[in-house]
Amino acid sequence: MAGPSTRAARGPGAPRLVATAVAMAVAVAVALAGPPSAAAAGQEEHSRVRAMTSSNWTLVLEGEWMLKFYAPWCPACLQTESEWETFAKNGEILDISVGKVDVTQEPGLSGRFFVTTLPTIFHAKDGIFRRYRGPGISKDLQDYILHKKWKAVEPVAGWKSPSSITMSGMAGLFSLSGWIRQLHNYFTETLGIPIWGSYFIFVVATLMIGLILGLILVLLADCFCPPKPRDGTDQSELIEKEKEALIVEDLGISEGKKDLSDEEEEKDDLSEGEEDKEDLSEREEERSNSNDETSEEDSAVDEGSATEDAGNVPDQQLTDVEPESSVRQRKSHAADVEQ
């Protein structure tokens, strides 16, 4: 009789022990996982910072934004993460949108904004970008927006603006580098290829791509600028052109010879002219000498005639004196007769 009574006593207690054990396991799981309300609140806080990608970054061109570039492995970025979240909570009050970009996932955007240091913060107002260089504290960020300190900062130059053509090309290069890095990691980590083997693959691929692009450029050049067909007519034309060129060269040589002969004739004429000048000068000297001689003779003749004239002067005086004396004698004789 004891057996059935003990079984009846044990029967109802077993389910209670099982239920207690299940309740304790659920409590432990909930404690380890944390309260669901805290997780939901964390998700809501995280959603206030908008994650920007290559597909939605153009939203920054409208309105006022504060954009942060970070990397998960950057210690400074992790230190300012909570401050950035606090600043994002006040985004509605400040009438500003807050976003962030993971450079490891979006290398194209980091190239478009030419990010070289982390963390990097940009202020955008209607498509005009300015670099924020202050501390990443929430209070300083709020003062930067409330007091409009961004007006004292020089905007990014037009050619360096993220929406410019040059920075679009830079974004393409950074995206290509990110793709190559991912491919390298795939070769080395997933496929187990050595690092030098991955580099060798990239070198061969670069050479092959260069050859293919060169071939394509040659084909395009042949299509748009086809070479002239080399038929018999073309050859005859080439021969005629060569003949014409030879004729022109012969004419040029003959003209050159004529020019040389003309120059020689001119030189001969000049030499003859100089000889004629010398002859004329000699003749003039001879004439001057003869004139000198004749002038000397004339002077000698003049001197002789002068001496002759001097000798004849007393004779003339004597002849003149004689009539005067005869006149006087006649006058005296006439006077005597009158007396």
Amino acid letter for position 107: P
Give the Cα separation of 66 and 98 in Å (integer). Answer: 5
Helix and strand element counts for the chain (H, E):
10, 5
List Cβ neighbours of 161 (8 Å cut-off, separation of 6 or more): 127, 129, 167
Instruction: Catalytic residue, from 52, 60, 71, 77: name it.
Output: 77
53: alpha, beta or left? (left if phi > 0; alpha if psi -120 to 50): beta
131: β partners: 122
Active site residue 74: yes
Instruction: Catalytic residue, from 61, 74, 118, 201: name it.
Output: 74
Give the Cα separation of 98 and 65 in Å (integer). Answer: 6
Active site residue 225: no
Give the Cα separation of 259 and 267 in Å (integer). Answer: 12
Closest CA to 322 of 332, 334, 314: 314
- Tell me which H or E stretch contains 243: helix 232-338
DSSP type of residue 90:
T
What are the percentages of helix, strand and coil residues in the chain, rounded to 5?
75, 10, 20
Write out the catalytic residue numbers: 74, 77
